């Protein structure tokens, strides 16, 4: 809900795709800068407590943004600053969250658990835009941000009910030493470094198509808030469909090969969406984009989790977070600068082709991921 209102209002207030990309950059760059530290603390502290603090901070930012709009004193720079604060909270909450999931289920259920987690996340992406679109059109942005703030109450209440099995070991090592141990573990595991690189490239080239949906809705498809809402809903619906398919696949063999084949198809579908000027065709292609993107992300994430020791999970997942979440702001900022010069369709079409080429490289040349 907040994503819809915030993206649309940043673009409306500024009229610039650069500020749209900058908002995403500032929301994600703390994850790139601080996740490694967050991963160390996820292995040293109670992971549930870290998550609770993160949720409280994000809830406060949502309510503050609602207050700024209610008092009619909001400016683009205020939205950008709050995006940065939320990013800092997520930099410490993200590794703790990802490290917590495997401690709640057995190894045989891990791919399904990650897929089901993707389903609930993307179900929110469907329900949120529907409610957000109604609130934005009928009630205004205050309701979008206020209702998002209230949604954290359910998350916080759920966290208080979880029984965490992981007990952090006592250590006197410095944060830097612990970070080096995590990096050494990654370098020593066959295929792990390739998965980290792949996660970074996927988000640099794959996720910007979602970041710049307001540009496609308004400038390419000549729509409005309703068009943007429809596109977000279709993307989320496709993601849920893809995640359900992953959850239904019980076998754990050839996950790497399946992920790379889906990545190649995803790249070409993104290019097709970027070049489409028909709303019905764009809707179908965006649904397929979500349907392929989520299985790729879920498969790669489950591979990383499957070959990680629990004592190193926070640090390994923090490096994965840096790669996975750090790629999005970098891609958004760079592409946000290129779009005014070359146009959104051409820029996103090129990223789709590059994404397909990356998948082909890891499938046919550098085969460590394909062999997992």
Q: In the chain, which ranges are E strands?
A: none
Whether the predicted pLDDT of 91 surpasses 70: yes
Which of residues 114 and 32 earns the better pLDDT score?
A: 32
- Cβ proximity of 363 and 370 under 8 Å: yes
Domain boundaries, the chain: 2-163+178-364
Q: What is the DSSP letter of 220?
A: I
Percentage with pLDDT > 70 across the chain: 85
Integer CA distances (angstroms), 157 to 45, 90, 128, 154, in order:
20, 18, 20, 5
Which of residues 72 and 116 earns the better pLDDT score?
A: 72
pLDDT at 111: 64
Domain 2-163+178-364 coded CATH 3.90.550.10: no
* Burial of residue 117, with CB atoms counted within 10 A of its CB: 0-12 exposed, 13-18 middle, 19 or more buried: middle
Range 196-225 average pLDDT: 87
Q: What is the DSSP letter of 170?
A: P
Range 338-343 average pLDDT: 89
Percentage with pLDDT > 90 across the chain: 19
The helix/strand/coil state of 212 is coil
Which among 141-145, 214-218, 293-297 has the top mean pLDDT?
Answer: 214-218
């Amino acid at each position: 809900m907040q994503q819809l209102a915030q993206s649309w209002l940043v673009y409306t207030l500024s009229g610039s795709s650069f500020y749209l990309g900058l908002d995403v950059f500032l929301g994600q760059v703390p994850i790139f800068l601080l996740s490694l530290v967050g991963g160390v603390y996820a292995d040293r502290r109670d992971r549930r407590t870290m998550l609770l603090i993160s949720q409280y901070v994000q809830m406060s930012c949502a309510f503050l943004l609602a207050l700024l709009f209610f008092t009619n004193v909001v400016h683009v720079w205020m939205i950008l600053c709050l995006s940065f604060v939320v990013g800092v909270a997520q930099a410490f909450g993200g590794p703790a969250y990802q490290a917590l999931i495997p401690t709640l289920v057995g190894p045989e259920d891990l791919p399904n658990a990650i897929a089901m987690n993707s389903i609930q996340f993307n179900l929110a992406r469907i329900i949120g835009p529907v409610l957000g679109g109604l609130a934005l059109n009928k009630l205004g942005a205050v309701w979008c941000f206020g209702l998002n703030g209230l949604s954290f109450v359910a998350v916080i209440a759920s966290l208080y009910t979880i029984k965490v099995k992981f007990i952090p070991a006592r250590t006197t090592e410095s944060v830097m030493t612990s970070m080096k141990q995590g990096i050494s573990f990654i370098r020593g595991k066959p295929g792990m470094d390739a998965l980290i690189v792949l996660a970074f490239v996927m988000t640099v080239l794959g996720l910007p198509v979602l970041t710049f949906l307001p540009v496609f809705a308004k400038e390419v498809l000549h729509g409005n808030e309703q068009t943007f809402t429809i596109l977000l809903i279709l993307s989320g619906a496709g993601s849920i469909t893809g995640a359900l398919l992953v959850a239904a696949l019980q076998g754990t063999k050839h996950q790497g090969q399946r992920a790379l084949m889906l990545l190649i198809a995803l790249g070409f579908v993104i290019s097709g969406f970027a070049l489409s000027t028909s709303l019905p065709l764009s809707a179908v292609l965006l649904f397929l984009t979500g349907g392929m993107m989520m299985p790729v992300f879920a498969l790669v994430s489950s591979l990383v989790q499957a070959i990680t020791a629990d004592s190193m999970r926070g640090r390994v997942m923090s490096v994965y977070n840096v790669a996975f979440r750090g790629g999005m702001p970098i891609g958004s900022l760079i592409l946000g600068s290129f779009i005014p010069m070359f146009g959104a369709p051409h820029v996103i079409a090129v990223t789709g082709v590059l994404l397909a080429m990356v998948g082909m490289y890891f499938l046919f040349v550098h085969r460590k991921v394909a062999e997992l």
